[in-house]
């Protein structure tokens, strides 16, 4: 089968993130599905792994985490899916990626593809939906109803995770959602996703929050450049507030959090499948719920740029766009028409 990844260290001069390899499909394990890939999406983690990870010694490292496709075979203990089912999921960072003709994935982290979306558009959702869902409901402990009052600051609202987090908070809770964006197109996108207020993260945040009627923050989701905004975020938090992050900011001085009894939460959606936690099937369950919300029209698709073919050239173009910092929502590749 064709697969796309790397076997040499990354060179900025080469400007190629992936190349094509021909690989044998691995045998499915007990809970594995063999999925024929029809759609994939690119994520910041793809470019981070490519730039920072050492090539494996014995075989290429295949990139890609978001995937959507059709189940073609199943392992001996599979009980949730059957051959022919249409699925979507975010995979496991410790296994081969989805940039391939076929992919193996544990059924417990797989959801049923939204019927209203193409395979490519469906692939835009899993990684960002799981990350946003776990951050909002598991890490922050927000109630899924309108009784969840207060406010939520989303730093980096126009990215993939921000696009879903804004929607989940707006549609499923009573939180007031404040997103950050700096360009007219990203501001418009955050408003389209449902943000009550949009402020500019290139300008001091506190005066803009006060102008929006927000004197203290209850929750803050730092989705990008946490090291840059951390001190200001702590200053704006109410006592007992919660800060969450998903990026890689390096060393943070958390000592100013003590006097306000603030809590800090890491969200890493790959933790459950990597460690095969007892509750790893929560990811499959929540993806099924996301699928239903999409089909009901409660959640919008977040794909904004698409390529019809999953191939080395288009993947390199998509990954270059992702790394540029100009991406809004998600970039997808694959079957864009039913």
Give the end of a domain, one of 227, 243, 266.
266
List the alpha helices (DSSP H) in the chain.
44-52, 119-122, 126-133, 160-172, 184-193, 205-211, 226-236, 271-275, 281-295, 312-323
Whether residue 169 is found in the same domain as residue 74: no
Q: Which of 325, 273, 332 is nearest to 303 (CA)?
A: 332
Q: Which residues contact 87 (CB under 8 A, 6 or more apart)?
A: 33, 35, 68, 69, 70, 71, 81, 110, 111, 112, 113
Check the CA dihedral 153-159-161-163 and report its sign: positive
Residue 96 lies in a domain: yes
pLDDT tens, residue by residue, 238-281: 999 999 999 999 899 999 999 999 999 999 999 999 999 999 99
Whether residue 298 is found in the same domain as residue 239: no
Residue 72 lies in a domain: yes
Whether residue 104 is found in the same domain as residue 55: yes
Whether residue 145 is found in the same domain as residue 254: yes
Whether residue 244 is found in the same domain as residue 305: no
Whether residue 25 is found in the same domain as residue 116: yes
What is the reported pLDDT for 23?
A: 96
Whether residue 207 is found in the same domain as residue 181: yes
Residue 300 lies in a domain: yes
Residue 215 lies in a domain: yes
Residue 152 lies in a domain: yes
What is the reported pLDDT for 336?
A: 72
Residue 271 lies in a domain: no
Residue 272 lies in a domain: no
What is the value of pTM for the model shown? 0.96
> Distance (Å, rounded) from C-alpha 319 to C-alpha 186?
19
Residue 273 lies in a domain: no
Whether residue 293 is found in the same domain as residue 323: yes
Q: Is 290 helix (H, G, I), strand (E, B) or coil?
A: helix
What is the reported pLDDT for 55?
A: 80
> Distance (Å, rounded) from C-alpha 104 to C-alpha 255?
43
What is the reported pLDDT for 338?
A: 63
Whether residue 84 is found in the same domain as residue 194: no
Task: For residue 13, give the CATH number of its domain.
Answer: 3.90.180.10
Give the end of a domain, one of 266, 295, 321.
266
Domain count, the chain: 2
Task: For residue 186, give the CATH number of its domain.
Answer: 3.40.50.720
What is the reported pLDDT for 260?
A: 98
Give the end of a domain, one of 220, 243, 266.
266
Whether residue 183 is found in the same domain as residue 309: no
Which residues face 73 on adjacent strands?
34
Stretch (H or E) spanning 307: strand 303-307
Whether residue 117 is found in the same domain as residue 23: yes
Domain range for 180 is 128-266
> Distance (Å, rounded) from C-alpha 33 to C-alpha 102?
10
What is the reported pLDDT for 144?
A: 87
pLDDT tens across the length of the chain (338 residues): 999 999 988 887 777 899 999 999 999 999 999 999 999 999 999 999 998 888 888 889 999 999 999 999 999 999 999 999 999 999 999 999 999 999 999 999 999 999 999 999 999 999 999 999 999 999 999 998 777 789 999 999 999 999 999 999 999 999 999 999 999 999 999 999 999 999 999 999 999 999 999 999 999 999 999 999 999 999 999 999 999 999 999 899 999 999 999 999 999 999 999 999 999 999 999 999 999 999 999 999 999 999 999 999 999 999 999 988 889 999 999 987 66
pLDDT tens, residue by residue, 222-233: 999 999 999 999
What is the reported pLDDT for 337?
A: 67
Whether residue 115 is found in the same domain as residue 135: no
């Amino acid at each position: 089968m064709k697969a796309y990844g790397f076997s040499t260290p990354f060179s900025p001069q080469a400007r190629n993130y992936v190349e094509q390899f021909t690989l044998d499909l691995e045998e499915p394990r007990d809970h594995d599905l063999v999925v024929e890939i029809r759609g994939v999406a690119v994520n910041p983690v793809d470019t981070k792994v490519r730039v920072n990870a050492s090539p494996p010694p014995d075989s290429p490292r295949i990139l890609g985490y978001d995937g959507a496709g059709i189940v073609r075979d199943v392992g001996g203990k599979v009980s949730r899916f059957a051959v022919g089912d249409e699925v979507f999921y975010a995979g496991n960072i410790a296994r081969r990626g989805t940039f391939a003709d076929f992919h193996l994935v544990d059924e417990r982290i797989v959801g049923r593809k939204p019927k209203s979306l193409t395979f490519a558009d469906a692939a835009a959702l899993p990684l960002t939906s799981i990350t946003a869902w776990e951050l909002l409901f598991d890490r922050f402990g927000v109630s899924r109803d309108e009784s969840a009052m207060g406010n939520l600051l989303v730093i980096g609202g126009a990215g993939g995770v921000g696009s879903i987090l804004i929607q989940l908070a707006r549609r499923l809770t009573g939180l007031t959602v404040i997103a950050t964006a700096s360009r007219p197109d990203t501001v418009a996108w955050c408003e389209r996703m449902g943000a009550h207020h949009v402020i500019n993260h290139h300008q001091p945040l506190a005066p803009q929050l006060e102008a929006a009627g927000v004197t203290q923050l209850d929750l803050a989701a730092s989705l990008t450049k946490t090291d840059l905004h951390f001190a200001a975020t702590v200053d704006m938090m109410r006592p007992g507030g919660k800060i969450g992050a998903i990026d890689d900011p390096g060393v943070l001085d958390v000592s100013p959090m003590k006097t306000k009894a603030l809590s800090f939460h890491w969200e890493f959606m790959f933790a459950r499948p990597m460690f095969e936690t007892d509750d790893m099937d929560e990811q499959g369950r929540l993806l099924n719920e996301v699928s239903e919300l999409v089909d009901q029209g409660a959640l919008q698709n977040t794909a904004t740029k698409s390529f019809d073919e999953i191939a080395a050239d288009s993947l390199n173009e998509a990954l270059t766009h992702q790394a540029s910092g100009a991406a809004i929502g998600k970039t997808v590749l694959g079957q864009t028409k039913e």
